[in-house]
Amino acid sequence: TLALMLALGKQLGEADRRLKAGDWRAPASTDLCGKTVGLVGFGRIAQGVARRLAGFEARVLATAPRPPAEAVPGVAFVPLDTLLGDCDVVSLHAPLTPDTHHLMDADRLARMKPGSLLINTARGGLVDEAALLAALERGHLAGAGLDVFEGEADPARRAATAALIAHPKVLATPHMAGSSREALARGNAIAARCVLAALSGTAFPDGCLVADGRTEAAAALRPGL
């Protein structure tokens, strides 16, 4: 998420294309430092993003169905429409449900601050891709950093996805946010610890997300398995 924010602001994709073509002119860029960043959703990933944004002296706004009961240092919770209108960067961190499908439709994209950036590393279906393409074409948004797309799972939507990927104001990545060597190693280790915990009947490690379908009866039978 931070990589997309930084790369979009600094126009790294455009700078790379220009220089490889022999053009040494630097594209106009924008700092992340001191900007207002909005987080739509405030689960574990958004909370991690908020902590990292502190290093950029960013003002962080967030919106969530159930904001934390206690204040979060450095984060102000506001309604979604307030967040959209105030933020230089809007980053999506919501699950995809019937209620959040096309959360960022034409109306909400139009409410975003002119010249702002949209980041989506959550789920492609949160964004109406045709509406986003239109917002970029008319210059309302300065750019979008997208790691997820509706066309990944829905062939009927691949034309809009392809148009977004090809757009010069879009920095597109192939659903790779969690695909670093380090992240995969952590995920494998967590899975192994959870398997061991399930087989031994002990508590799962802190911080693990596990759908535990065991019953007391199944747990009682485990020693004989």
SS3 track for the chain? CHHHHHHHHCCHHHHHHHHHCCCCCCCCCCCCCCCEEEEECCCHHHHHHHHHHHHHCCEEEEECCCCCCCCCCCEEECCHHHHHHHCCEEEECCCCCCCCCCCECHHHHHHCCCCEEEEECCCHHHECHHHHHHHHHCCCEEEEEECCCHHHCCHHHHHHHHHHHHCCCEEECCCCCCCCHHHHHHHHHHHHHHHHHHHHCCCCCCCCCCCCCCCHHHHHHHHHC
| Interval 62-91 mean pLDDT | 94
User: pTM for this structure?
Assistant: 0.87
Kindly name the residue from 93, 123, 129, 150 that is annotated as catalytic.
123
Q: How far apart are CA 93 and CA 115, in angstroms?
A: 21
Reported as a pLDDT band with limits 50, 70 and 90, residue 190 is confident
What pLDDT is stored for residue 211 in this prediction?
Answer: 63
Tokens of 140: 């309302």
Q: How far apart are CA 147 and CA 152, in angstroms?
A: 11
Kindly name the residue from 152, 157, 158, 167 that is annotated as catalytic.
152
- pLDDT one-digit tens code per residue, 119-139: 999 999 999 999 999 999 999
What pLDDT is stored for residue 221 in this prediction?
Answer: 43
157 is catalytic: no
What pLDDT is stored for residue 179 in this prediction?
Answer: 85
| Interval 86-114 mean pLDDT | 97
| Interval 74-100 mean pLDDT | 97
181 is catalytic: no
The answer to whether residue 199 scores a pLDDT higher than 80 is: yes
The answer to whether residue 224 scores a pLDDT higher than 80 is: no
Q: How many CA atoms within 13 Å lie on the side-chain side of 73?
A: 4
Kindly name the residue from 140, 167, 175, 193 that is annotated as catalytic.
175
Q: Are 141 and 115 in contact (CB under 8 A)?
A: yes
- pLDDT one-digit tens code per residue, 138-161: 999 999 999 999 999 888 889 999
216 is catalytic: no
Q: Are 39 and 89 in contact (CB under 8 A)?
A: no
Q: How far apart are CA 102 and CA 130, in angstroms?
A: 11
